Chains A and B, each alone.
Chain A
Amino acid sequence: MAGASSDLKLLGAGPSPYVNRVQIALNLKAVNYEFLEEKFGSKSELLLKSNPVHKKIPVLIHGDKPICESLIIVQYIDEVWASGPSILPSDPYDRALHRFWAAYIDDKFFTNVKELSTADGEEAKDAAVERIAEGMTLLEDALGKCGKGKPFFGGDNIGYLDIAFGSFLGWLRATEKLAGVTLFNEGKTPGLVAWADAFSSHEAVKDVIPEIDRLVELAKMFKARAQSQSAN
């Protein structure tokens, strides 16, 4: 039972991996929605009203009900449009594994990636790359345990953990380019290399994740802005 376009609004911004998570989930369920782009540097009245606690995107507005926090929105979409392909696994233990690793990605992994993009000097950069490499090894192992030999963490099709991790692929590739490093190592994490390609080219994903060059430009802009702000 797909929601009508007017019934479903997504407040977001194209380059945000958190917003991309929601877009991918909506695409998987083939649900129509209206995308309301928040302008960078300002917050709309609707956003402030819908997410008074954090004032952040993404926010999904279903009818008159706002749902906040990207992974909470993804679970909501999975539960409301239950007749579409499942995002979370059906087995409770598998669900726990997906949730555990999604929390790891948000709490630890992406912090390490951000540290790489702001690292000053070779030593700091190498340390950051080392930490990310450790994370990639853990995630390679998780892919085996969750996917059980299939292409995705969700098995034959994209699931919760694929969305949680895969939404960062654009920024991961952009960080590789900016820092001049390789994070996806065919020798060390072949499963993840194959997974990254399969995920990025998936129907529900390919039009969502922004072009890497655009993200590289955005990252340079953010860095310049941060530097000029700290200089003032």
Chain B
Amino acid sequence: MEEVKLLGTWSSPFSYRVLWALELKGIPYQYTEEDLYNKSPFLVKCNPVHKKIPVLVHGGKPICESMVILEYLDGPWPHNPLLPSDPYERAVARFWAKFADDKGTVIWTMFRSTGEEQKEAVKGSLEMLRTIEDLALGDKKFFGGERIGMVDLAFGALAHWLGVFEEIVGIRLLEPESFPRLHKWTKNFKEEPAIKENLPDKDKMLSNFRCLREKLLASP
């Protein structure tokens, strides 16, 4: 069994996407917490192009970009697959995973901005949530159906990080009355043992991100 290493950070939802996947598949791994203000030579060697986490290292070979890593995992570890087997369903899953990546940044914009820019970002975030609520989930327990799949992991930030950002900026986006399906999904998602046992501490997140927001707003 070749060694698996995960380079990540405790507060990054992208890092958690991979961690959750490893836990769901029961893959043993060695986790290294990276300091992004002082990047390790190993991280830079593994990801010279972006110098970002997460990085998965399998048998010495690095794989970068969280969604590329998730697609990779079903290869050597086909049990508890993250993607469906039907080509059309796989295309639909990939579509929503890409949507999570492309549109998800608007929530970060809401978090790190004020005034007009934040207002626009709030609008964009609500539109994004509306699209997911109306078109992506249906009446399934998870985006992946009965079991958590790649799309659930891709949207994982909505289940835990969004609440933290909402509390810090004082804006509620994911109201249960407006987004009943999505709200129920966040509960189901966080109840799964592999997820429940692997979530960053909420108070630590609040303190960390509050600090980060101040820093971002203070810099030009």
The reply to whether A65 and B61 form a contact with Cβ atoms under 8 Å apart is: no
The stretch of A19-27, A29-37, A66-74, A171-179 in contact with B is A66-74
The stretch of B63-71, B189-197, B211-219 in contact with A is B63-71
The reply to whether A69 and B94 form a contact with Cβ atoms under 8 Å apart is: yes
A69, A76, A103: the one within 8 Å of B90 (CB): A76
The reply to whether A99 and B68 form a contact with Cβ atoms under 8 Å apart is: yes
A73 to B91, CA, bound (A): 7
Q: Is A79 an interface residue (CB 8 A)?
A: yes
Tell me which residues from 114 to 135 in chain B have a Cβ below 8 Å from any Cβ of chain A.
131, 135
A65 to B131, CA, bound (A): 19
Given contacts A62-B88, A76-B88, A96-B68, 4 further A-B contacts (CB under 8 A): A73-B91, A80-B87, A100-B64, A104-B49
A99 to B91, CA, bound (A): 15
- Describe A's contact surface by its main secondary structure: helix
A53, A76, A95, A103: the one within 8 Å of B91 (CB): A76
A99 to B71, CA, bound (A): 9
Number of interface residues of A (CB under 8 A): 22
Report chain A residues within 8 Å CB of B61: 93
A68 to B96, CA, bound (A): 10
Known A95-B71, A95-B75, A99-B68: A75·B90 in contact at CB below 8 Å: yes
Q: Is A92 an interface residue (CB 8 A)?
A: yes
Report chain B residues within 8 Å CB of A76: 87-88, 90-91
Number of interface residues of B (CB under 8 A): 23
Report chain A residues within 8 Å CB of B64: 100
The reply to whether A100 and B90 form a contact with Cβ atoms under 8 Å apart is: no
The reply to whether A72 and B94 form a contact with Cβ atoms under 8 Å apart is: yes
Tell me which residues from 92 to 108 in chain A have a Cβ below 8 Å from any Cβ of chain B.
92-93, 95-96, 99-100, 103-104
Which A-chain residue is minimally distant from B71 (CB atoms)? A99
The reply to whether B76 and A92 form a contact with Cβ atoms under 8 Å apart is: yes
Q: Is B95 an interface residue (CB 8 A)?
A: yes
Report chain A residues within 8 Å CB of B131: 53
A80 to B131, CA, bound (A): 28
Report chain A residues within 8 Å CB of B87: 76, 79-80
The reply to whether A69 and B76 form a contact with Cβ atoms under 8 Å apart is: no
A-B contact pairs, 12 of them (CB 8 A): A62-B88, A69-B94, A69-B98, A72-B95, A75-B91, A79-B87, A79-B90, A93-B58, A95-B72, A96-B63, A100-B63, A138-B49
Contact with A along B75-93 (1 / 0, CB 8 A): 1100000000001101100
Report chain A residues within 8 Å CB of B71: 95-96, 99
